[in-house]
Amino acid sequence: MMFEYSGYKENYFQLGGGFKNETFFTLLEDNYDTSGIKKMYIKNILNEAKWEMVLFYENKIVTGTRLENRYVFRENRKRIVDKRLICGKLKGHHAQLTLVFEDGEQFVLCSEQDANKKMQHDYTKAIKELYKIL
């Protein structure tokens, strides 16, 4: 789902939900200027797969995830040379965004894989919004 970073962090601390560990936010803010985040997308926070936070800046994409008892951050500054949006026939039921970088690497956001059934419509909407701004 897509959020504004500051709003998500504020709600996280008020509700005690989300990533269940404030260490992630501390490490993120120690290593990145979070004021430059344009949009934030969270993969798999509502299903059983490994979660991943995706932060979209003006000139880079930063991903963060937990691997066992460690946090892993990755920064991608490669230029996007192609973006593809696939939508389901029924409005709001599926969207997949594929970003292709200059070296051929691909990055995929998929509402069916990144969300549970209840939140799939919100993820579809977020992916379509990202497609417009990237």
Q: What is the pLDDT of residues 111-133, one digit of tens each?
A: 999 988 888 899 999 999 999 99
* Distance (Å, whole) CA 115 – CA 4: 18
Q: Tokens representing 53? A: 């936070």
pLDDT for 89? 79
What structural domains and CATH numbers belong to the chain?
A: 2-133 (2.30.29)
User: Tens digits of per-residue pLDDT, 63-112?
Assistant: 999 888 889 999 999 999 999 999 987 776 799 999 999 999 999 999 99
pLDDT for 20? 53
Q: How many CA atoms lie within 13 A of 110 on its CB side?
A: 7
* Distance (Å, whole) CA 47 – CA 75: 25
pLDDT for 67? 83
Mean pLDDT across the chain: 87
Residues 6 or more apart whose CB falls under 8 angstroms from that of 99 comprise 61, 80, 82, 83, 106, 107, 108, 134
pLDDT exceeds 70 at position 18: no
pLDDT for 49? 75
pLDDT exceeds 70 at position 43: yes
pLDDT for 125? 92
